[in-house]
């Protein structure tokens, strides 16, 4: 893109300020900036001016979960079906590790965080250990796709390689990068993070499947005959991955997606809950849950919206392919964004100072025809690490790991 073309695009979206330092840059930096301007989707930025309209929900009704007693009654059959699928090479795992983990406050990728106390035990290691349990049970390797972003790709790859993938077979580990989106101030003006670089952040965890396609991962999926993809977050150190019982239940119930859920610990717990929205599976976020929905009861008199998602989903791969062309809703999230101030000095703010633009995996559920919410025991499978201390923290996860017999 030439400077003239860049100016034209920037004027269209009210972003001319990003060329403020253009004349100070070397020819190479100028070129890089023009390329970044060309590649950046600026059409989404104006949405922050009418944020409220983005969050419109349809009619919410309950969606029954498969609860623990039903799972126990059918466990043997589900496990057999799940193990068969794994042994047949039909299941792949996708680790979403492209996030910035800003709440944890470590500069390194979140998976590199050491949760050990008397020994080294990294988040990545916990997850791989959990997956290895299934590999050993099934006596079959499972392809593991690791999503990173520009911000943490090299560090993640180097770390896992240096640690010999914590015992995972290297040829079954595949890395791919998600896309980035511009980050702006509250007026939707793109920040600069360097004089020749727009401020960007990963575009949310909802872009994982498109990024798998764009980076050639789907070719591996096809070649290996994978039909189901178990997508999971980097931060839940207790979760079971490629869990045969969960896979078997989703398959036997003929659903195109399964969602692991936990029973809420309080009506106002801050988790997204499973529901139907206009008759299709969906997730209503805790801040969208009205008083009426919070207090609604099902036929048995139990809370009707009582099962929170834990970002562990099993998607049917062909169902995802059919939906590739459909766009996902945009989420505009307030975050702390490092930026150059009026004097060209880099500022790392202590408080949120602008917006990031994200697509979320939970919105993919609403595009699916059927979903099985599958209950898991919170104390055994849900230990997310979002913060350093307090709720969903390193501290709480350590306590839960110890309760589950993991030596720290
Ligand atoms: P979170 O919503 O916790 O976001 O991600 P985050 O960026 O990791 O952390 P904070 O909010 O800045 O503290 C949930 C999961 O989605 C992944 C994360 O790596 C985590 O596994 N994720 C998030 C991505 O892979 N890409 C993204 O763009 C965002």
- The mean per-residue pLDDT over the stretch 378-394 comes to 95
Three-class SS of residue 155?
A: helix
The pLDDT of residue 172? 98
In this prediction, residues 277-306 reach a mean pLDDT of: 91
Instruction: Tell whether the model's pLDDT for residue 52 goes beyond 90.
Output: no
Is the Cβ–Cβ distance between 351 and 336 less than 8 Å?
yes
Nearest-CA residue for atom 25 of ligand 1: 98
Give the pLDDT score at 49: 85
Mean local confidence (pLDDT), 95-112: 93
Ligand 1 and 205: CB distance under 6 A = yes
Split at pLDDT 50, 70, 90, the class of 298 is confident
pLDDT of residue 185: 96
Could you tell me the two tokens for 361? 């995996």
**How far is the C-alpha of 288 from the C-alpha of 310, rounded, in Å?**
17
285-308: buried (b, 16+ CB within 10 Å) or exposed (e) per residue? beeebeeebbebeeeeeebbbbbb
Give the distance (Å) from ligand 1 centre to CA of residue 234: 8
Q: For residue 63, report the distance from its CA to the centre of ligand 1, in Å.
A: 26
Query: Do strands 91-96 and 144-148 pair parallel, antiparallel, or not at all (unpaired)?
Result: parallel
How far is ligand 1, taken at its centre, from the CA of residue 6, in Å? 31
Question: How many other C-beta atoms lie within 10 A of the C-beta of residue 150?
Answer: 14
Check if 102 has its Cβ closer than 6 Å to any atom of ligand 1: yes
**pLDDT higher than threshold 90 for residue 253:** yes
How far away, in angstroms, is 102 Cα from ligand 1 center?
9
- Whole-model pTM? 0.95
Of the listed ranges 12-21, 53-62, 388-397, the one predicted with least confidence:
53-62
- Dump pLDDT digits (tens) for 10-32: 999 999 999 999 999 999 999 99
Q: CB atoms < 10 A from the CB of 117, how many?
A: 11
99 pLDDT above the threshold of 80: yes
Model pLDDT, residue 341: 94
Ligand 1 pocket, residue 188 CB under 6 Å:
no
Cα(104) to ligand 1 centroid in Å equals 11
102 pLDDT above the threshold of 90: no
pLDDT in tens, 371-385: 999 999 999 999 999
Under 8 Å CB-to-CB from 390, ≥6 apart: which residues? Answer: 396
The overall average pLDDT reported for the chain is: 95
Pocket of ligand 1 contains residue 384 by CB under 6 Å: no
Residue 358 CA: nearest ligand 1 atom is: 28
The ligand 1 atom nearest the CA atom of 201: 28
Residue 334 near residue 221 (C-beta atoms within 8 A)? no
Residue 81: alpha-carbon gap to chain centroid: 27
Q: Helix-strand-coil percent breakdown of the chain, rounded to 5?
A: 40, 25, 40
- Is pLDDT of 229 > 90? yes
Separation of 350 CA from ligand 1 center, angstroms? 19
Asked if pLDDT for residue 50 goes beyond 90, the answer is no
Quick count: other Cβ atoms within 10 Å of Cβ 274?
25
Ligand 1 center–CA 198 separation, angstroms? 21
Give per-residue pLDDT as tens, 123-165.
Answer: 999 999 999 999 999 999 999 999 999 999 999 999 999 999 9
Residue 362 has pLDDT above 90, yes or no: yes
Concatenated DSSP letters of 191-254:
PEEETTEE-EEE--GGGHHHHHHHTTHHHHHHHHT--EEEEEESSBTT--SS-HHHHHHHHHTT
Q: Which of 151, 205, 207, 336 to mutate to test the pocket of ligand 1 (most atoms within 8 A of CB)?
A: 205
Supply the pLDDT for residue 224: 98
Q: Find the 100 Cα to ligand 1 centroid distance in Å.
A: 6
**pLDDT higher than threshold 70 for residue 41:** yes
Q: Please state the atom number of ligand 1 nearest to the C-alpha of residue 104.
A: 13
Distance from residue 270's CA to the centre of ligand 1 (Å):
16
Residue 55: band (very low, low, confident or very high) from pLDDT cuts 50, 70, 90:
low
Residue nearest to atom 28 of ligand 1 (CA): 204
Q: So what's the pLDDT on residue 37?
A: 97
Q: Which residue has the higher pLDDT, 57 or 82?
A: 82
- pLDDT surpasses 80 at 84: yes
| Gap between the terminal Cα atoms of the chain | 53
Q: How many Å lie between the centroid of ligand 1 and the Cα of residue 125? A: 18
Q: What is the mean pLDDT of residues 58-62?
A: 93
Whether 364 shows a pLDDT value over 80: the answer reads: yes
Torsion of CA 352, 353, 358, 360, to 10 degrees: 20
Ligand 1 and 98: CB distance under 6 A: yes
**Are 156 and 148 in contact, with CB atoms under 8 Å apart?**
yes
Is the CB of 204 inside a 6 Å radius of any atom of ligand 1?
A: yes
Q: Give the residue-averaged pLDDT of 344-365.
A: 94
């Amino acid at each position: 893109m030439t400077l003239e073309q860049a100016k034209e695009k920037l004027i269209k979206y009210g972003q001319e300020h990003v060329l403020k330092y253009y004349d100070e840059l070397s020819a190479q930096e100028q070129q890089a900036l023009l390329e970044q301007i060309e590649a950046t989707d600026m059409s989404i930025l104006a949405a922050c001016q009418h944020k409220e309209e983005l969050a419109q929900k349809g009619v919410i009704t309950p969606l029954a979960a498969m609860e623990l007693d039903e799972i126990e009654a059918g466990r043997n059959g589900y496990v057999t079906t799940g193990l068969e699928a794994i042994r047949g090479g039909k299941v792949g795992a996708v680790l979403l590790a492209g996030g910035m983990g800003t709440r944890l406050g470590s500069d390194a990728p979140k998976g590199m965080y050491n949760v050990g106390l008397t020994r080294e035990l990294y988040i990545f290691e916990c997850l791989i250990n959990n997956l290895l349990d299934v590999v050993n049970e099934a006596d079959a390797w499972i392809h593991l796709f690791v999503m990173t972003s520009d911000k943490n790709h090299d560090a993640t790859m180097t770390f896992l390689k240096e640690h010999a993938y914590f015992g995972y077979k290297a040829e079954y580990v595949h890395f791919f990068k998600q896309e980035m989106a511009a980050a702006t101030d509250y007026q939707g003006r793109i920040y600069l993070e360097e004089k020749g670089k727009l401020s960007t952040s990963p575009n949310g965890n909802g872009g994982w499947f498109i990024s798998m396609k764009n980076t050639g991962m789907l070719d591996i999926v096809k070649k290996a005959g994978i039909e189901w993809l178990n997508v999971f977050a980097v931060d839940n150190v207790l979760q079971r991955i490629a869990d045969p019982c969960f896979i078997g239940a989703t398959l036997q119930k003929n659903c195109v997606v399964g969602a692991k859920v936990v029973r809420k610990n309080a009506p106002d717990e801050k988790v997204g809950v499973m529901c139907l929205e206009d008759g299709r599976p969906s997730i209503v976020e805790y801040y969208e849950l009205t008083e009426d929905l919070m207090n609604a009861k099902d036929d048995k008199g139990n809370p009707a919206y009582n099962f929170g998602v834990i970002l562990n989903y099993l998607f049917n791969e062909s169902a995802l392919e059919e939906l590739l062309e459909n766009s996902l809703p945009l989420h505009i999230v307030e975050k702390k964004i490092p930026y150059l101030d009026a004097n060209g000095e880099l500022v790392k703010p202590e408080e949120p100072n602008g917006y990031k633009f994200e697509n979320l995996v939970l919105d993919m559920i609403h595009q699916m025809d059927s979903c099985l919410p599958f209950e898991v025991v919170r104390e055994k499978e849900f230990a997310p690490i979002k913060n350093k201390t307090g709720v969903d923290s390193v501290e709480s996860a350590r306590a839960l790991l110890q309760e589950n017999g993991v030596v720290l």
